[in-house]
């Protein structure tokens, strides 16, 4: 049987929780959503959680709640999932791309500093692949220049930076519960914040700008989560630490057992707890196969793999043309050399051994 690169872990308790909602006849936003919001906020250590229907909506609503609009610039890493940047564009603002660190894949504080202009209003730091970005220097830059910091924590539920959970550092933390994430609701997301005015604005924005029934005071959207999704999320949240521990143990196994020449294993920064949404290796020129040939080889051995992400955001047709010289050369290099191996919690000892044996035998 194929070892997939990602697999949602759903058990009878998620099924029972969804059945209960379905049979209650109350399918849209209700008690389950409120319960997930308060439990997720408590888990992260923030004052509030505002549930939404996906992580992109979380980012868009967070930016709007922080006052981002036309004419503004928001600094984002060039190496991330596209939504980090498109959420900025959805506000009518301009994403400005900062390069990333070659070893941690995360946004570089010096690059953030360099990209600041009089139009800069915010920075989105992404905790990419489950590893917190270096928050302290980015926070310092934001404070010095009166910029809003937003965390894109779509891939990092439960990750720690200097012992504190992500989602606490920015004005808002934005999470995704998409089907392959560390905890899931199928589609879904959450904004965490401890700033009351921001939370109040978020609650309006995600529900048609409605302050009272059929009274609409600001431009809003329908970004609500359903009770069906929230019921899954409540059960998944209970299992999140266990899932993350499995991911970490799987990554530790790879760290100890992968030894192919020209394959660089992921680096974990000091003082962070990585939650391994993805286990991303880099292939150097010393590696005997091209990335495509390696993926085919793994597939033939029943092992799934994936490229996150093959095109850096600043080179996507949406944001082209790219200035010369390339303003984010590390992001471009990583896009050409990274490969994600399976690290999800449902891998067993045999799967891990199969992956290592296949990788180490590459010629």
- Greatest Cα pair distance, the chain, in angstroms, is 67
116 binds ligand PLP (CB under 6 A): no
Q: How far apart are CA 55 and CA 177, in angstroms?
A: 7
Q: How far apart are the first and last CA of the chain?
A: 24
Residues 6+ apart with CB under 8 A from 107: 76, 77, 98, 100, 101, 125, 126, 133, 138
Residue 326: burial class (beta carbons within 10 Å; 0-12, 13-18, 19+): middle
84 binds ligand PLP (CB under 6 A): yes
Q: Which window, 62-70, 78-86, 294-302, 318-326, contacts ligand PLP (CB under 6 A)?
A: 78-86
Shortest spacing between CB 213 and ligand PLP, in angstroms: 28
The SS3 assignment for 297 reads helix
The tokens 């059929």 sit on which residue?
A: 214
Specify the residue, 229 or 356, whose C-beta has the smaller distance to ligand PLP.
229
Shortest spacing between CB 187 and ligand PLP, in angstroms: 6
Give 193-196 contacts, CB < 8 A, sequence gap 24+. Answer: 193/46, 193/47, 193/48, 193/50, 193/62, 194/46, 194/47, 194/48, 194/168, 195/47, 195/171, 196/47, 196/48
Shortest spacing between CB 129 and ligand PLP, in angstroms: 9
83 binds ligand PLP (CB under 6 A): yes
Q: How far apart are CA 182 and CA 130, in angstroms?
A: 9
Q: Which residue in 97, 105, 178, 287 binds ligand PLP (CB under 6 A)?
A: 178
Shortest spacing between CB 155 and ligand PLP, in angstroms: 5
Could you say which residues in the range 136-165 bind ligand PLP, by CB under 6 A? 152, 154-155
Specify the residue, 14 or 152, whose C-beta has the smaller distance to ligand PLP.
152
Tokens matching residue 267: 């680096």
Shortest spacing between CB 322 and ligand PLP, in angstroms: 21
**Strand ranges across the sheet with 263-264:** 263-264, 279-283, 338-341
Site size with ligand PLP, rule: CB under 6 A: 14
Specify the residue, 287 or 314, whose C-beta has the smaller distance to ligand PLP.
314
Shortest spacing between CB 255 and ligand PLP, in angstroms: 23
Specify the residue, 72 or 152, whose C-beta has the smaller distance to ligand PLP.
152
Q: Which residue in 55, 158, 220, 345 binds ligand PLP (CB under 6 A)?
A: 55
**C-beta neighbour count of 102 within 10 angstroms:** 17
Q: Which residue in 43, 79, 81, 287 binds ligand PLP (CB under 6 A)?
A: 81
Specify the residue, 86 or 351, whose C-beta has the smaller distance to ligand PLP.
86
Specify the residue, 129 or 297, whose C-beta has the smaller distance to ligand PLP.
129
Q: How far apart are CA 194 and CA 172, in angstroms?
A: 8
Which among 289, 333, 296 is positioned nearest to 314, based on CA atoms? 333
Shortest spacing between CB 348 and ligand PLP, in angstroms: 26
Which among 161, 193, 162, 163 is positioned nearest to 175, based on CA atoms? 193
Q: Which residue in 46, 48, 54, 226 binds ligand PLP (CB under 6 A)?
A: 54
Q: Which residue in 86, 104, 168, 176 binds ligand PLP (CB under 6 A)?
A: 176
Specify the residue, 173 or 356, whose C-beta has the smaller distance to ligand PLP.
173
Shortest spacing between CB 272 and ligand PLP, in angstroms: 16
| Binding track, positions 186-225, relative to ligand PLP; x by CB under 6 A | ---x------------------------------------
Residues 6+ apart with CB under 8 A from 214: none
What residue ranges bind ligand PLP (CB under 6 A)?
Answer: 54-56, 80-81, 83-84, 126, 152, 154-155, 176, 178, 189
């Amino acid at each position: 049987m194929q070892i997939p690169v990602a697999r949602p872990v759903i058990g009878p308790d998620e099924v029972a929780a969804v059945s209960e909602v379905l049979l209650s006849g109350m399918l849209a936003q209700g008690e389950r959503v409120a319960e997930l919001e308060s439990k997720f906020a408590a888990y992260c250590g923030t004052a509030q959680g505002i549930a939404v229907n996906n992580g992109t909506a979380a980012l868009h609503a967070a930016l709007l709640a922080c006052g981002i609009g036309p004419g503004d610039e928001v600094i984002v890493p060039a190496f991330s999932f596209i939504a980090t940047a498109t959420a900025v564009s959805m506000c009518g603002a301009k994403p400005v791309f900062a390069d990333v660190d070659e070893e941690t894949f995360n946004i570089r504080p010096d690059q953030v500093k360099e990209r600041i202009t009089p139009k800069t209003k915010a920075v989105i730091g992404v905790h990419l692949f489950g590893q917190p970005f270096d928050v302290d220097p980015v926070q310092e830059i934001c404070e010095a220049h009166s910029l809003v910091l937003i965390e894109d924590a779509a891939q990092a539920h439960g990750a720690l930076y200097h012992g504190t959970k992500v989602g606490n550092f920015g004005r808002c933390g934005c999470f995704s519960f998409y089907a392959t994430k560390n905890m899931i609701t199928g589609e879904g997301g959450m904004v965490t914040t401890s700033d009351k005015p921001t939370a109040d604005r978020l609650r309006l924005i995600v529900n048609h700008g409605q302050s009272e029934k059929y009274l609409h005071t600001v431009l809003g959207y329908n970004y609500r989560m359903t009770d069906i999704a929230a019921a899954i999320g409540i059960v998944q949240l209970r299992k999140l630490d266990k899932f993350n521990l499995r991911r970490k143990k799987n990554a530790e196994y790879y760290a100890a057992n992968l030894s192919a020449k020209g394959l660089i294993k992921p680096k974990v920064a000091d003082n962070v707890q990585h939650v391994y949404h993805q286990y991303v290796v880099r292939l150097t020129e010393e590696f005997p196969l091209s990335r495509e040939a390696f993926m085919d080889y793994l597939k033939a051995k029943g092992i799934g793999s994936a490229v996150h992400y093959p095109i850096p955001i600043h080179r996507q047709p949406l944001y082209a043309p790219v200035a010369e010289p390339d303003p984010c050369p590390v992001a471009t290099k990583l896009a050409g050399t990274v490969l994600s191996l399976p690290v999800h919690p449902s891998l067993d000892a045999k799967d891990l051994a199969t992956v290592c044996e296949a990788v180490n035998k590459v010629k």
